[in-house]
Structure 1
Amino acid sequence: MKKISCSIFKIFLMLSSSSSAMADTSYETFDIHFTVLTSNPSAHLVATLSQFQEEVNILNTYFVKEDRSPIIKFRFKSASFYNDIKNSTCSFIELGDTMNQNDTDWATHFNSCNDPLVKNKNALNFYIFDSYNENYGYNHKDGFGKRNSNRPFIVLDWQRLNHNIQAPEEHEMGHAFGLSHFCALGASPTSSTNIMSSSCQGGSTGKRDIGFNNEQVNIIMYYVPLIKAKLALP
């Protein structure tokens, strides 16, 4: 009788362990819509459908906790290329190559856009542009993310695609989920630093190769249901 009981108990533990493993791998998943805003032909060679699918893979690999475990998941939904949107009436598309990017209220232009090719209201929107500033011209290679009252979007220079230069995808998506910069005082370009690291007072942001800490994960998870609810609106 004891042998039978032990066997049943072992089976119960195996089933419980299996159920826990299944539960642990169940994450909220967010769809992503990609849009190419820039008219730069060089960008069009890089910002391809296959690259967008790779961008999703990058986010699923690197948007993680310090122990490298996932927080949420991302899924490719759709894409609009420059030729698809160049005649749109949305003022947002004019920002793809603008020389006044720092003086522009991107969120206002985004929120006023009703063209589904430019803005998918039921997905996270990922825009590719050609960043500009006075010092570097169109070789600026910048990006940013906006939570935008729980309807997030990120904007990334085309030269930053494919995880180029300081972990841009997960960093900007961190901003999109409510995170601020994490000061990496004294870091060098080869230092291991938090995903959200910033030089703050000069120096370097480091490699941004350490996942989100517990406080950051809590902030992300606070906004997850709020963002989900906003994106589910008709």
Structure 2
Amino acid sequence: MLKKLINFIIVLISFYGVNIYANEIKTFDLHFVVITNNPDAKTKVNLNQLYEEVNVLNKYFVKEDRSSIVNFRFKSASLYNDIKSSTCHLVDLGDAMQPFNLENAATLFNDCTDLNVRDKNAINIYIFDEYSDSKGFNSINSYGKRNSNKPFIFLDWKRLNHTTQSPEEHEMGHAFGLSHVCVPGATINSSTNIMASASCGLGSGGKRDIGFDASQVQTILHYVPLIEAKLASQ
């Protein structure tokens, strides 16, 4: 009798398309690559720091109620000496004396076949030294892109360890398909959504210390299986 009941439940699940894993929190592997030759960056960026970056993401890439959406796991890392002779031109972006271009970075990323520089089965995080015309290498802008479900992040080395406007979770938000949100009147000390930005011209990005709202969580969860499938298939 029990066996028949179990079989009946399985049939119902199959027929109605019930996903018994709907509440399962997925885990994504991270591959870190240090592409800057800045001596201060090379001193700061070691394996312990990169493991700490994973801890930061698991702590702060969360909903408004501070509960997790996905988990992240350290997979591997390539330090500068491991990739300095790579033929992948992506490495040239580490200390480029020109403003960063995200679309150009995506092209170089997609063209890269060096497994030390790009792990096709993980989310890749590049530690670089950002340059801008106005601030030179004092610029600290960082970037993230979903890239047709092959996400990557460029994180300025000066923002490691969760400094200055919550960079890790903000850029990972972009990697999972989120755009900036505007918070009119916000100052640098205001509590704001993780994806807040000054790009709208109406306020600061603030502290970015409020988790993702329901709509943002829905977007992230929409892309979770798509990113998972793409990373597994490459």
Paired letter, 2:84: K
- Alignment partner of 1:150 is 2:156: no
Which residue of structure 1 aligns with residue 58 of structure 2? 60
CA distance in 1, matches of 2:24, 2:166: 25
Which residue of structure 2 aligns with residue 79 of structure 1? 77
> Within 5 Å, which residues of 2 pair with 1:79-98?
79-98=77-96
CA distance in 1, matches of 2:147, 2:24: 26
Q: Offset at 1:119?
A: 0.3
Which residue of structure 2 aligns with residue 220 of structure 1? 220
CA distance in 2, matches of 1:119, 1:137: 27
Alpha-carbon distance change, 137 to 50 in structure 1, aligned in 2, over 3 angstroms: same
Does structure 1 conserve the Cα–Cα contact (< 8 Å) formed by 2:90 and 2:112?
Answer: yes
Does structure 2 conserve the Cα–Cα contact (< 8 Å) formed by 1:88 and 1:115?
Answer: yes
> Unaligned regions of 5+ residues in structure 2, if any?
1-20
CA distance in 2, matches of 1:190, 1:133: 24
Which SS does the other structure have where 1:197 is aligned?
coil
Q: Offset at 1:101?
A: 3.3
Q: Offset at 1:149?
A: 0.4
Q: Which has the larger radius of gyration?
A: 1
Q: Offset at 1:25?
A: 8.0
Does structure 1 conserve the Cα–Cα contact (< 8 Å) formed by 2:183 and 2:202?
Answer: no
Q: Over the residues paired in the alignment, what is the CA RMSD in angstroms?
A: 1.4
- Alignment partner of 1:42 is 2:40: yes
Does structure 1 conserve the Cα–Cα contact (< 8 Å) formed by 2:56 and 2:162?
Answer: yes
CA distance in 1, matches of 2:146, 2:23: 25
Matched length: 212
- Alignment partner of 1:131 is 2:135: no
1:66-111 per-position Cα deviation (integer Å, ceiling 9, x unaligned):
0000000000000000000000110110010112233461000000
Paired letter, 2:62: V
> Within 5 Å, which residues of 2 pair with 1:156-171?
156-171=155-170
Q: Offset at 1:24?
A: 9.5
CA distance in 1, matches of 2:99, 2:119: 22
Give the fraction of aligned pairs with identical amino acids, expressed as a percent.
Answer: 60
> Could you state the TM-score of these two structures normalised by the residue count of structure 1?
0.88
Q: Offset at 1:26?
A: 3.9
> Unaligned regions of 5+ residues in structure 1, if any?
1-22
Which SS does the other structure have where 2:100 is aligned?
helix
